[in-house]
Amino acid sequence: MVKIKRLLYIISQSAPFRPNLTKIAQRIDVHRNQIADYLFYLEKAGIIAQLRNRTKGVRLLGKVDKVYLDNPNLIYAIAEGTPDKGSMRETFFLNQMRVNHSVLLSEVADFQIDNLTFEVGGPNKTRRQLTGEANAYVVKDDIEYGYNGTIPLWSFGFNY
């Protein structure tokens, strides 16, 4: 139980993060293979969300690109200090969208849902990262209304 608490603390301090199972195993003093099991069970329990890319077949097994806590409230409950705003934004977006959609890691932005690409950021986020991408949107926090391929983050709360 203590080791799982340590794992959750590591995730809360750095979510979203790209897990290095060997380093995490060393930090919480367990075998590397146990970390994958812990992550699987934490996801099944609804405590974390694991984001994967479009990889198919055997390569998909065990391949996790990012790990998030399931929702922003857990970040406040587990992490020390003030949580990173970027992590909070991405966690909220993923939490709301994965209810009705299969959310994947995008090659050029934060998230891929079907044929749509989403980059999540603050009010100063630009479309520069999405140049040349069809069906790409910037999801901004701290704005009231959307315009020209920009969608307010709060509006994704209606998806749930």
pLDDT of residue 57: 52
pLDDT band of residue 79 (cuts 50, 70, 90) is confident
Query: Is residue 146 located within the same domain as residue 93?
Result: yes
Looking at the structure of the chain, the number of domains it has is 2
Q: How far is CA 147 from the centre of its chain?
A: 25
Burial (CB count within 10 angstroms: exposed 0-12, middle 13-18, buried 19+), residue 92: buried
Q: Which of 83, 116, 132 is the last residue of a domain?
A: 83
Min mean pLDDT across 22-31, 76-85, 113-122 is at 76-85
Query: Is residue 79 located within the same domain as residue 100?
Result: no
pLDDT band of residue 159 (cuts 50, 70, 90) is confident
Query: Is residue 88 located within the same domain as residue 121?
Result: yes
Query: Is residue 49 located within the same domain as residue 98?
Result: no
Instruction: State the number of CA atoms in the 13 A half-sphere of 46 facing the CB.
Output: 4
Query: Is residue 99 located within the same domain as residue 42?
Result: no
Structure tokens that stand for 74 in this block: 């857990």
Q: Region 95-100: what's the mean pLDDT?
A: 94
Query: Is residue 68 located within the same domain as residue 135?
Result: no
Residue 20 belongs to domain spanning: 1-83
User: Which residue's entry shows tokens 């809360």?
Assistant: 12
